[in-house]
Structure 1
Amino acid sequence: MTSPTGRRAVLKALGATGAATLLGAVAACASGPGSEAETAPPSGAASPGTTPDAASPGSSAPAPQGTLPTYAYETRDLDVTSQGQTLPGRLYVPAADAAVPLVVCSHGLCSAPDDVAPVAQALARLGLAAYCPSFRGGGPGSVGDMTRMSVMTEVADLEAVLTAARTATGGWEVVDPGRIVLLGQSQGGEVSAVTAARHPEQVAGLVLWYPAFSITDTLHSLYTSLDAVPQDYSFLGCALGRVYAQDMWDYDVYTEIAGYTAPVLIVHGSDDLVVPYRYSERARTTYPDAELVRIDGAGHGFDEGPEEQQALAATVGYLQRVGVMKA
C-alpha cells in the first residue's frame, strides 16, 4: 500500500536500484558489520523494555555468512493460469546444474512485477530462481479490472503460482518444489503471509517487507460501515471496487497468519506512515517464530541505496539460516 502523494516515489525507489548495486551491498554485509536495525527474538517474545507499539534502540541485524558466489542468469516469461485467466510473469533463472530454490517476489497495491524485479535479479545472481508474478487487476498493465481485485483474489493468484511451480514442468523444471519461499512487499506481503498460512507445507520460508497488515484498520478509518463503501472509490490513490473492502472488512489477518509455524523474516521502516511499524511488531508476537528487522528512518518502501541494501542483506541472511541458501 502507498499513500496518494508518495506512491510514485515508492515505486521509483523499488524499481530503480540495479541488481549489481544490491549484490555489492550484500557482499559488504557478509564481511562487515550488520545494518542498524531491530532484531526481534523468536517465538513472539518481546524484547525487554519494549511494547508492541514502541521500537527499541537499533541493534545489528544478522548479516549473510561466508563468501557469496555469483551466477549468470537468464530471463524467462512464464504465464500462470488463475481462475480461468492467463497471468504473465517473469522468471529469473541462474545457471545451475540442478534444481534450485525459488523465491516468489510479490509486488504491492497499484504496483507491477517490474517494481520487484531488482530484488529478483539480485537473488538470481546469488543462485536462486526468482519469479515476479502479476495479479488480476493488481496494477498498471495488469490483466483484468482493478475494481474487481482484492487481497483475496491476489491470494488465489499466488496459490496458482505455487501450484504451477511445484509441478516442475512447463518451464518450472529448474525449481526445487521443496524449497519455495514467498517474499512480498506491502500488500504483496499480506498476500504472501495469508498464502503461506493456508499452505504451510508448500512454503519453506516467508519474507515480508513492510507488510500491509493495516488494510482493515485503514478501511475502517475511511468508512463508518461496509454499507457506506461505494461500488467504486479511490483508496490510497488507487481506483478500487467494493469487493476490496468486502473481503477485508471483518477479516483478522493475525488470527490466520499464526498458523504458519516456520521461521519468518519481517523487515519494516521505523518511519512508515502508511503501514505503521507497530503492525509488524504485532505480527512478530503473533508468529510462533519471527524475526523483525527495523530499518531506521525508512518510510513505506525502501529508498534505493542503504535502506534497500539493508533489507536485501537481512533477507539473504535469513535464507541462509533456514537452509534455502548455503552459508
Structure 2
Amino acid sequence: MRFIQILSIFFASLFASFGLFGINRVHAASVNEKSLNIRYKDIKLVGHLYVPEHHEEQMPAVILSHGLGGDYTQMEPYAKALAKQGYLTYAYDFAGGSSNSASTGRNTRQMSVFTEEEDLTAVLNNIRQRSDVDASKVSLVGASQGGLVSALTASQHQREVHSLGLLYPAFSAGDEAQSRYSSINEVPQSVNLYGTEVGRPYYRRLLKTNVMNLATRYNGPTIIIHGSADRIVPVRYARQAAQKFPHAQLEIIKGANHDFPGSAEGKSIRMLDRFFEQHQ
C-alpha cells in the first residue's frame, strides 16, 4: 500500500509538470529580445519585446510599466524572468515619463498619471491584437507610479486585463498632491518631483480626484508587493488598497525600501511568478 501511495504521488507530479492537470507553461532557457514601437495619436512609445526561445503559437502576455523618472530598464529583470516562464513580455518608456525617455510626443512637464494611462491603454490594445498572444490572458505589472497607472488602466478595462501585479504602487499620489496644493492655481509652472521636472498638467486631475478609489475597481486577481520600510510610498497605502480591491493578495517584504534594492527584487520576481502560475 505504501508503494502504491508513493507511485501515485510520483505520477501526479509528473503529469502536472507536463500540463495534464491544466499547468502548461513553457520554461525557456533563453529569451529573444527585439524592439517594438507603438504609435497612437502623435505619440511614439519605444519599447522592448521579450519572447521565450521556444514558445507556443499563442502565449499569455505581461505588459510592464516603469515608475516616475524611470524607463523600461527598471522593468527589464521582471520582463526577462517572466519570459523565461513562457510569457511574452513588453517593457517600454512612457512618453514624458523621464528626461531619459526614448518615447516621443510628450515631455515630463506635459505628463501626468492620466496621460500615462492613455499610453498603457494603447500598449494594451496593441499587444492584445498580436497573433502570437492569447488576448484573453494579457496581464499588467507596474512599479511605483507605473503601478498606479496599471491599476487605473485595469480598473477601466476589466475585460481586457487577465490579472494585475503591483510593485510598491504609488497609491499615495493623490494625497501627496493634495497636501502640497489646494488648487491648480497654487502649482508652479515647474515642480521637481523626486528628481523629475513635472508641470501643472501633472496635478490638474490629481487635485480633484480620489485616485485611490478610482484605481482599485479592478475585480480580477491582483497582487500588491510592498516593502515594509518604503520611505516614498508608506506601506499603509498598500494595505488600504488591498482592502479595496475585490480580489487582492498583499505581500510585504520586510525591511525593503522603495524600488526594491538588493535581494528584494529577486523576492518580488519569485512572488510574481507564483502569482501568475496560480492564475494562468
* Partner residue, 2:101: 141
Amino acid at match of 2:71: A
Other structure's SS at 2:109 match: helix
Would you say 1:123 and 2:82 are equivalent positions? yes
Alpha-carbon shift at residue 68 of structure 1 (Å): 8.4
Most deviating of 75-84 and 268-277: 75-84
Change (3 A) 1:174 1:313: same
Q: Percent identity?
A: 35
- Aligned mates of 1:66, 1:205 — CA distance in 2: 17
- Where does the alignment leave 5 or more consecutive residues of structure 1 unmatched? 1-64
Alignment partner for residue 81 of structure 1, among 26, 29, 39?
39
Change (3 A) 1:254 1:307: same
Q: Can you list the C-alpha shifts for 1:177-236, whole angstroms capped at 9, x where unaligned?
A: 111010000000000000000001000000000000111111223234322101112112
* Partner residue, 1:90: 48
List aligned pairs for 1:1-327, cutoff 5 A.
Answer: 69-94=27-52, 95-139=54-98, 140-142=100-102, 143=104, 144-168=106-130, 173-304=131-262, 306-323=263-280
What TM-score, normalized by structure 1, do the two folds share? 0.74
Task: Check conservation: 1:96, 1:127, Cα contact below 8 A.
Answer: yes
- Aligned mates of 1:303, 1:235 — CA distance in 2: 21
Moved segments of 4+, more than 4 Å: 65-68
Amino acid at match of 2:264: E
Other structure's SS at 1:178 match: strand
Choose 1 or 2 for highest CA Rg: 2
- Aligned mates of 2:180, 2:43 — CA distance in 1: 32
How many residues get paired? 254
What TM-score, normalized by structure 2, do the two folds share? 0.86
- Aligned mates of 2:147, 2:40 — CA distance in 1: 19
- Aligned mates of 2:250, 2:152 — CA distance in 1: 18
Change (3 A) 1:129 1:279: same
- Aligned mates of 1:258, 1:274 — CA distance in 2: 20
- Aligned mates of 2:167, 2:138 — CA distance in 1: 17
Q: Can you list the C-alpha shifts for 1:135-164, whole angstroms capped at 9, x where unaligned?
A: 111111332311000000000000000111
Change (3 A) 1:81 1:223: same
Alpha-carbon shift at residue 66 of structure 1 (Å): 11
- Where does the alignment leave 5 or more consecutive residues of structure 2 unmatched? 1-22
Computed over aligned residues only, the root mean square deviation of the Cα atoms, in angstroms, reads 1.8
